[in-house]
Structure 1
Amino acid sequence: MFTKYLQDAFKVPLVIQLTDDEKSIWKKLPVEEAKRLARENAKDIIACGFDISRTFIFSDFGCVGGPFYENMIKFSSNITGNQLRGIFGITLEDPAAKISFPATQAVPSFPSSFPHLFTGKDNLRCLIPCAIDQDPYFRMTRDVAPKIGYQKPALIESSFFPALQGDTGKMSASDPNSAIYVTDSADDIKYKIERHAFSGGGKSGKEHSYLQFFLDDDTELEYIEKEYGSGRMLSGGTRGIKTRIIEVLTELVEKHCKARAAVTEAMVDAFMAVRPLPKMFD
């Protein structure tokens, strides 16, 4: 959603990498299953409303080769095994695929990896919106880029959503009550927020709510913070913070589910087609 805002605000081309190879390597998934999941991820991404005339989505299994692979070799030639061990904790006991993957993650930062988009534009700089766990990859990329003739990428890093149980909890796939999913029904969301969302109090409602991420109205958010801090607003009840969180998340998830249901396999193919984007800077 934030990346879509950046594309809308600056009218710039967007390249989205689906790391299906990473899923296969780290989660030990069969290649075909990792590729299937990548297409499902693409449907959720497309449902956010990206501009197809400015957006290219690719999967690593489908795209690695040619200039992309050339950049991987250039990049890998400037990183030692000791550096990979220091950055990622990779050891000689790990699968060799883990050693080669960091370069795959890095080189989409370089325009020459996509000659169908950026031929003659090798000096373009890349902005990467990402979560904080991706920081090691792109610190590494910023270190290597000048050595092989490219601009350093810039990053906007986001924090993680807290688990529903609060900052001390952890989202876990084995605990469906630790998070809200975009596949949850309105009843699921209501149940999870009322029964499992942390409500231990604090100086502000923002300290333990999803409203800071999803409520666009800053004036309302400030009002809630003051009301909760003063004790005039509680976590529960018909006018409590949890009720507002349920309203906001239900609206967001239902909107997303409706948009995703409209995404066809043909639309995924269109976004992932290797093609020029002639109006990507208009």
Structure 2
Amino acid sequence: MVKVARCVTYNKVVGIFGFSQEDHIGKISFPPVQAVPSFPSSFPHLFSGMEQLCCLIPCAVDQDPYFRMTHDVAPRIGCQKPSLTESRFFPALQGESTKMSASDPNSAIYVRDNEEEIKKKVNKYAFSGGQDSAELQRELGANLEVDVPIKYLNFFLEDDDDLEQIKKGYGDGSLLTGKVKNLLGDVLSELVKRHERARAQVTEEMVDAFMAARPLPNMFG
């Protein structure tokens, strides 16, 4: 982290991230922390003697500035530049213009939410691209580009044919917003129940073993 920090001037980091004089030093010192996991030398127990490995980073577009900075720095400290695959951004329940936040429990569905909580959050807080009334919805259909239930179903509904039928019906007005939100509530509730059943099988010893810093056999075999 110190090596990276020495290669990035204050003016450069302001240009990349838009920091102002009022921002605290934690924001300014964080980019090197974000950068160094993309270098094999940060994990000697995994990649000893493999310092020239290249790192592939899946991330959303909001993480891109950190790794554009890392691209510039990597050759100067003898490391390979990382590569990115920019993934779809997963929106908060309130829509694309907001982000999930721990300070707002209604901005996201949590794996410890029960079925009633999940369906309440979806019905009350999930931003809809549907029309203001059932009559208008049947006439005009929904705007699928901004509709959060559709975005979530894109991720979580496993049957692509079912997804296309829902999109078609919602987009042409034959499906109402309430129906689509109920479908999403059912999908998320079942997913969380499966997670709960799996989590119940996990012991503290299993967690400790999984999280331990250790060589991983046959990583490249």
Q: TM-score, normalised by structure 2?
A: 0.81
2:10 to 59, 81, 87: 81
Specify the code of the residue in structure 2 equivalent to 1:187. Answer: E
CA-based RMSD: 2.5
Residues 176 and 124 of structure 1: is their aligned pair in 2 closer, same or farther, counting only changes over 3 Å? same
Instruction: Identify the residue that residue 263 of structure 1 maps to in structure 2.
Output: 202
Q: Is the 8 A contact 1:127 1:154 kept in 2?
A: yes
Instruction: Identify the residue that residue 56 of structure 1 maps to in structure 2.
Output: none
Task: Give how far 1:126 is off.
Answer: 0.6
Specify the code of the residue in structure 2 equivalent to 1:181. Answer: Y
* Counterpart mapping for 1:1-282 below 5 A: 72-90=1-19, 94-167=23-96, 171-201=100-130, 202-204=142-144, 207-209=147-149, 210-236=152-178, 240-282=179-221
Q: Where do 5+ consecutive residues of structure 2 fail to align?
A: 131-141
Task: Give how far 1:197 is off.
Answer: 2.5
User: How many residues in Structure 1 have an aligned counterpart in Structure 2?
Assistant: 208
Task: Give how far 1:208 is off.
Answer: 3.1
Task: Give how far 1:254 is off.
Answer: 1.7
Identity %: 62
Residues 104 and 205 of structure 1: is their aligned pair in 2 closer, same or farther, counting only changes over 3 Å? closer
Instruction: Identify the residue that residue 139 of structure 2 maps to in structure 1.
Output: none
In the TM superposition, what whole-angstrom CA distance separates every residue of 1:119-173 from its partner, at most 9, and x where no partner exists? 2212211111223222111111111112222221111223433332334555444
Structure possessing the higher radius of gyration over alpha carbons: 2
**Cα distance in structure 1, aligned partners of 2:192 and 2:107:** 16
Q: TM-score, normalised by structure 1?
A: 0.65
Task: Give how far 1:206 is off.
Answer: 7.6
Task: Give how far 1:79 is off.
Answer: 1.0
